[in-house]
A and B are shown apart, each in its own frame.
Chain A
Amino acid sequence: MSAELWQPIRLTIELAGLTTLILLIIGTPVAWKLSRHDAWWKHALMAVVAMPLVLPPTVLGFYLLLLLGPSGPGGALASLWGARTMAFSFTGLLIGSVIFSLPFVVQPIHNAFRAMGDRPMEVAATLRASPVRAFWTVAVPLARPGFLTAAMLGFAHTVGEFGVVLMIGGNIPGQTKVLSIAIYDFVETSRWREANILAAGMVAFAFGVILAMNMLEHRMARDNA
């Protein structure tokens, strides 16, 4: 296969992998805070986290463009290393993906933490486990199915995103030209064969992810019964 095909695939995997990693790191504490006790601000925060589910990608992309562009804070930040803007770069794309895929990672973890209830953490505390030890030895292992779902959804959703990438990423080979853009590009230039290879690959990938998720969930449900 040519580099023209390989490059977007590699770039997409890199982007989705990094996005998932970052999201697990920032999404876990957010999900944890949201899952413990109810306060009005938690509902507000939950709504903010969930907004990318509802907003058209173009709206999100538009604001990200303002934020990352030369006259936004992203541009100011970029000037630190001599760049003019953070839009139309891999970093910009990564920031956009993290925001766009946030609900897909936070919600499954949040649900898993909630389903666990207060009791396991209470038990751990009565057994002299510090909150940190209890979190790592009880909450995280018990929420394992949630983490798996979160990672898969976060990864898959980033791979599938198009609108936001189009708005803030552009079409720079090796930097921002991810799979979904590449397919669009091939179609635009009437290269149906290449478009077909990538599109079919995406279909197989999506099927594989959903199948794997279903099977894992089934197995974990059985193990924890």
Chain B
Amino acid sequence: MSAMDIISCRFTGTFGGFGLDAAFETPAQGVTALFGPSGCGKTSVLRCIAGLQKVHDGYCRIGASLWQDGANFLPTWKRPVGYVFQEASLFPHLSVKQNLLYGAPRGGERAVHFDEVTELLGVTRLIDRMPRHLSGGERQRVAIGRALLSEPRLLLMDEPLAALDRETKDEILPFLDRLHDRLSMPIIYVSHDISEVERFADRIVLMRQGRVIANGALADVMSNPDLPLARAREASVVMEAEVTGYDAAYGLARLRVAGGEILAPSAPLEPQQRRRIRIGAGDVSLALEHAHQTTILNILSARIASATQLPTGDMLAVLHLGESGEGAALLARVTRRSWETLQLRVGLAVFAQVKGVSMALK
């Protein structure tokens, strides 16, 4: 990867007693999640990237264009960003159509087509309305469309779902999935909800108290036992999977992941479709022999790659799928008693019994 394809940021400063000292690099493609608890500085980082907030000691380069360094600071309106705020923030005095076109380049060839965006976001029938006549979910979709139509080179999303209720979230999520699949522009997505991150992100930048504590591919960061994500009660891993078959009688999809094959309940799928699956650390148990008479559908060969004792006393094991341990990483949380009774240790070949697999809906 050359410097041309990298987003590189470093922001150091204090605002209102809060210290920010965050630096990270991420490829200028796909979705990078900025993830951390509320108040860890994720939004500040995003605002700094957009130029809405200015730290004196900052550096921001998007591919070949420098947006900020010691001497230079490009004002927000000269940066080709799209920004989706937590609240839709539509202009109340403009119609949906006028809102959508506010930032669209005038004249000339448009790279992003109005009809395409309105269709993608399902707002075509709303374009003559005023924002006050829209539901919360519709507003947020219009806000996303407005950002896209300004033809940004980088899309920044600041918890676009956080202000919405569960039902509205479910209404918007499929549209975000489509964005992820259809858009080529890089997205930086701020969230404190791991389920959103699991669903969209390709990479994750983990933040705590104004600092970046980890940065890498989503699956790697989630399965790293030294990081808080894997140690959390609801820890899980995600894997990219390819559909190899579908059993309509039982509603089960057969999926190939690196180092194994998994059955998961699902709506009908076509072979070769790609899906992302999620497996919780608490849903994986370990056995030394392959159980035959069991209700557990997925029993996978794996090798123990590492083991960590958690403060709760439980053991957190990182497994690599496959007989020789060359496949995808899986987390298993087991009691220390079981660990010792079975004499489990790093390097041992085991069978991972997976009780629950969920699929990112698309």
Contacts and interface: CB of A to CB of B under 8 A. Distances in A.
A-side interface size class: 20 to 34
B92 A129 contact: no
B339 interface: no
A120 interface: yes
A122 B158 CA distance: 13
Interface string A153-167: 000000000000000
Nearest to A118: B52
B147 A125 contact: no
B76 A125 contact: yes
A172 to B, nearest CB: 46
Interface stretch (B29-37, B79-87, B195-203, B279-287): B79-87
B245 interface: no
B85 A125 contact: no
Interface string B99-125: 000110000000000000000000000
Nearest to A117: B89
A126 interface: yes
A198 to B, nearest CB: 40
Given A124-B102, A127-B146, A129-B102, A142 B75 contact: no
B142 to A, nearest CB: 12
A135 to B, nearest CB: 12
A123 B91 contact: yes
Given A123-B91, A141-B93, A225-B132, A128 B52 contact: no
Given A119-B85, A119-B89, A126 B132 contact: no
A128 B51 CA distance: 12
Interface string B60-102: 0000000000000001111011110101010111000000001
Contacts of A225: 132
Nearest to A225: B132
Contacts of A71: none
A142 B52 contact: no
Interface string A116-153: 00011011111111110010011001101000000000
Nearest to B132: A225
B218 interface: no
Contacts of A130: 77
Given A131-B77, A224-B132, A225-B132, A126 B93 contact: no
A128 B150 contact: yes
A126 B50 contact: yes
A137 B102 CA distance: 10
A52 B75 CA distance: 39
Contacts of A223: 132
B89 A123 contact: yes
A126 B147 contact: yes
B92 A224 contact: yes
A138 B99 CA distance: 11
Among A127, A137, A138, max chain B CB count under 10 A is at A127
Given A122-B52, A126-B82, A138 B91 contact: yes
A131 B77 CA distance: 8
Contacts of A125: 51-52, 75-77
A139 to B, nearest CB: 11
A126 B91 contact: no
A85 B80 CA distance: 57
Contacts of B83: 122-123, 126
Contacts of B102: 124, 127, 129, 137
Contacts of B89: 119-120, 123
Interface string B182-213: 00000000000000000000000000000000
A67 B146 CA distance: 54
A125 B87 CA distance: 16
A189 B3 CA distance: 89
B132 A127 contact: no
Contacts of A142: 91-93
Nearest to A127: B103
Interface string A182-225: 00000000000000000000000000000000000000000111
Contacts of A123: 83, 85, 89, 91
B93 A129 contact: no
B177 to A, nearest CB: 24
A136 to B, nearest CB: 12
Contacts of B93: 141-142, 144, 224
A178 B80 CA distance: 56
A101 to B, nearest CB: 28
A163 to B, nearest CB: 40
Contacts of A137: 102
A223 to B, nearest CB: 8
Given A125-B75, A127-B103, 15 more contacts: A120-B89, A122-B76, A122-B83, A123-B89, A125-B77, A126-B50, A126-B83, A126-B150, A127-B146, A128-B80, A128-B150, A129-B77, A129-B102, A224-B93, A224-B132
Interface of A: 119-120, 122-131, 134, 137-138, 141-142, 144, 223-225
8 contacts: A124-B77, A125-B52, A125-B76, A126-B52, A126-B81, A128-B103, A129-B77, A223-B132
What 10 pairs between A and B have smallest CB-CB spacing? A127-B103, A126-B83, A125-B76, A125-B77, A141-B93, A123-B89, A127-B150, A127-B102, A119-B89, A128-B103
